[in-house]
Amino acid sequence: GQNIDQPTEMTATEGAIVQINCTYQTSGFNGLFWYQQHAGEAPTFLSYNVLDGLEEKGRFSSFLSRSKGYSYLLLKELQMKDSASYLCAPLDSNYQLIWGAGTKLIIKP
Amino acid sequence: GAVVSQHPSWVICKSGTSVKIECRSLDFQATTMFWYRQFPKQSLMLMATSNEGSKATYEQGVEKDKFLINHASLTLSTLTVTSAHPEDSSFYICSASRLAGGPYEQYFGPGTRLTVT
């Protein structure tokens, strides 16, 4: 079956760094997306990885290891507005996004 | 950009009535559109995938006669919730994908909050 595993909730301090891990099992693999979703809003795109390694985009970076079925999202210089859910979503062999429940990130002053 | 709009953003309707939600890609042609439903504190649940000009593919457990999807053009898809009941109250989100150029990223609309009384 297809499965996504992320921590349910994480707490971090404003200005700090946090890493959100994701392990996945899918039927085939065509890359992995990270989305951010604020409460009551639709998801917004953060990053896409299809090859192994680190992709950096400003304060956010995403890492992928295809052999381990593992990805992480790294958020630096945390701001209060980063409080949201972060969704790890791999693309399966049918190019369908597989969604987990996401990680709720709480930022404290 | 790649902007997707949804209308209405929220709707309240009485049990037994039908509600239509529109999803439009504003600045690109969407070969494929997706409809999701999300209950509070739960993950996105894919309801159906639709390609322009063809019938939608529904996920297991989603009643196609209750959730009517029409994807008549490359910029518009509609979801009609027929004979709505309180248990259909949810956050409905559409997304659109343009196959050309990859990586099959889905651009999400802002969502429609449906409350059935």
The β-bridge partners of B67 are: B81
What would the pLDDT profile of A62-104 be if each residue is shown by its tens digit?
A: 999 999 999 999 999 999 999 999 999 998 887 788 888 899 9
Alpha-carbon span A57 to B75, nearest angstrom: 30
Q: Which residues of B touch A29 (CB under 8 A)?
A: none
Residues 82-101 of A with CB under 8 A from B: 87, 91, 95-97, 99-101
Tell me which chain A residue has its CA closest to the CA of residue B42: A101
Per DSSP, chain A holds a count of helices (H) and strands (E) of 0, 10
Confidence of residue A14 (pLDDT cuts 50, 70, 90): very high
Q: What is the pLDDT of residue B2?
A: 82
Question: Which residues of A fall within a CB distance of 8 Å from B101?
Answer: none
Strands A9-13 and A103-108: parallel
Residues β-bridged to residue B116: B13
Q: What is the DSSP letter of A38?
A: -
